[in-house]
A and B are shown apart, each in its own frame.
Chain A
Amino acid sequence: MKALQILIDGFAISSLYATGAIGFTLIFGVSGVLNLSHGSIMVTAAVVAWLVAGSFGAGPYGGALIGVGASVIVSLVTYGIVVRPIQKSRAIAREEKEIFVLTGTLLWGIMVQEVIAYVFTNNPKTVLPLIGGVVNILGVRTPRTEIAIAAIAWLAMGLLWLLVNRTRGGKALMAAAINPRGLTLCGFELGSIHLLVWTIYGVLAGIAGVLLGSFLGVSSDNAGQLTASAFSIVVLGGLGSVTGSLVAAYVVGYLESLTAYLVNPSIRTVPVLLLLVIVVYLRPQGLLGRR
């Protein structure tokens, strides 16, 4: 009974983690950027969805849609005013760009987080669930929204798979991850590919944010924790590896759920952190990473 409960809860939370982390890893794979404002972008999506669905009466679906839209806008702004200027800057040496992007996105994330805290306070906000009600799965009372969360997360990831493997733009995107110079030589504009990947990232992070908001509730104070957990998942799975992130998201989600149910909810992140240290030391390229 408890095992089944862990299995179901763990699945929902892991799917959510996977959606957010895949966007994060995609950007790293294509443009080598670790976006430390990730958590703030997820929080933005959740808070906008909460606002539009609740105060403006757009209902859960309208709220979710506009929340994801807000996330896309913030992610494009992140690219436009923080990441791109640093990449283009002549004053910053090439080997230091990585460090500057990390610091820049970190500061930008704090700015977004502070604006949200200022306008909407840092009280946790729970987004209206997409579907109400509870179903009984083999004796475990499961909120329907939990099933919907897993389904939507998987739908989003499935669409991403189709986009990457079946469309011209998506294939160009993968090519950019493998060899950007070769792609430029084939006559593709790298700039538009970066815009595409940041847009996809915004959609995925937005979906993850809205779903998280409807599942656990989100406060602006969570931004740092969300970034850290996406970062951990992505490193665990192997930086730049989409499949790796997917596997790692489930490892992290289940490990956290097991700890929370069987040991103590207050230390739910500790086993993950220890696992992460072990993996980074023994196998720095991550579970499925390429070197």
Chain B
Amino acid sequence: MMSTPKTLLGTAAVIALMALLPFAGVGGYVLGLMTSALYFGVFAMGWDLLFGFAGEVNFGPSFLIGVGAYTAGLLNHYAHWPIIACVPVGALAAVVAGLLLAVPALRLSGPYFGLVTLVAVLLLQNVIVIFAGFTGGEIGLDLPDVLAISSRVNYWYALGVAGIVALGLFALSRSAVGLILQASGQDAIEAAALGFNVVRHKLAAFCISALVSGLAGAMLVFYLGTVSTDSVVDISIGVQVIIAAVLGGRRTILGGAVGAIFLIVAGELLRPVGQLSTFIVSAFALLVILFFPGGLLGRFIVREGA
């Protein structure tokens, strides 16, 4: 495995290279794809902090994403707040919603925690559909503002967010806090016996996960120019995030971004087979889980014996 400073430097170099992509003759269509992939990468990295480190499987990443996205979207649509105000408020709303969900839910373990997060998504989706007059329901809500018209600028925004989140979360995961989280995830009783406050660390992980998910969710809707359940809340969004994170490699953080980009690229390459592309991507992810449980990046980043 690579040492922390080396990996951070390597990641920064990759981000810098990716920032040059628009000058390398890459067209607007590909940049658009990459923009979505990068936001998904942020979702997956936030999810991995909970799954890979805190050991909690969150079936509802799209609850946090959706709260951030809809808060930002509604503020922009009705109150005409500028984007610069909507995005942080959306991210904060995701943290608050995440806390409301996690404080009681973290008392539960394993499948119960997973179920509560799944139910949270279904409830959010129902609420949005029931109050369709206000939220736009399944059709969605148009936003008066967008981040940028140019696909280059949009791409740079996404890359900036994804880059900061990647470096920040990776450094966090390698810090003392990250180690305590990992210990809490693997053996909560032993970690507690060593004097660590397991619940508080997991709660912190949940808040950070909520913050980045909400932030990227809010940015994503201002890129899309519309906020709808299909694009930010639906269960299938959550499943995509989970597949990306597991495919890239759990407990690697960076794997989430790699997995998300891989999924989007694979989806494009598999376009000729049409409907079957989801099947092939799922089958590939299943094979990775069965034969290389460490994921695409597992070999390089996971600690030995971890």
Contact = CB atoms under 8 A, between A and B. Distances in A.
Interface stretch (A53-61, A62-70, A111-119, A163-171): A111-119
Interface stretch (A42-50, A183-191, A197-205, A231-239): A231-239
Interface residues of B, number: 40
Contact of B119 (A82, A102, A276): A276
Interface in A81-121: 82, 85-86, 89, 91-93, 95-96, 98-100, 102-104, 106-108, 110-111, 114-115, 117-118
Contacts of A231: 115, 118
Contacts of B289: 86, 100, 103-104, 107
Contacts of B111: 34, 98, 102, 235, 239
Interface of A, secondary structure class, is: helix
Contacts of B286: 82, 104, 107-108, 111
Which of B107, B115, B116, B282 counts the most chain A CB atoms within 10 A?
Answer: B115
A277 B119 contact: yes
Contact of B123 (A102, A115, A273): A273
A52 B84 CA distance: 59
Interface of B: 51, 55, 57, 104, 107-108, 110-112, 114-116, 118-119, 122-123, 126, 129-130, 186-187, 235-236, 239, 242-243, 246, 275-276, 278-279, 282-283, 285-286, 289-290, 292-294
B206 to A, nearest CB: 16
B123 A274 contact: yes
A266 B293 contact: no
Q: Which 5 A-B pairs have the closest CB atoms?
A: A114-B279, A107-B286, A110-B282, A107-B282, A92-B293
Contacts of A115: 279
Given A93-B186, A99-B55, 9 more contacts: A86-B290, A92-B293, A96-B55, A99-B57, A100-B293, A107-B285, A235-B111, A266-B129, A273-B126
Interface residues of A, number: 42
Contacts of B290: 82, 85-86, 89, 104
Interface of A: 34, 82, 85-86, 89, 91-93, 95-96, 98-100, 102-104, 106-108, 110-111, 114-115, 117-118, 224, 228, 231-232, 235, 239, 266-267, 269-270, 273-274, 276-277, 280-281, 284
Which of B119, B187, B235 counts the most chain A CB atoms within 10 A?
Answer: B119
A111 B126 CA distance: 26
16 contacts: A34-B111, A82-B286, A85-B290, A100-B293, A107-B283, A110-B282, A111-B282, A111-B283, A228-B122, A231-B115, A235-B115, A270-B123, A274-B123, A276-B115, A277-B116, A284-B112
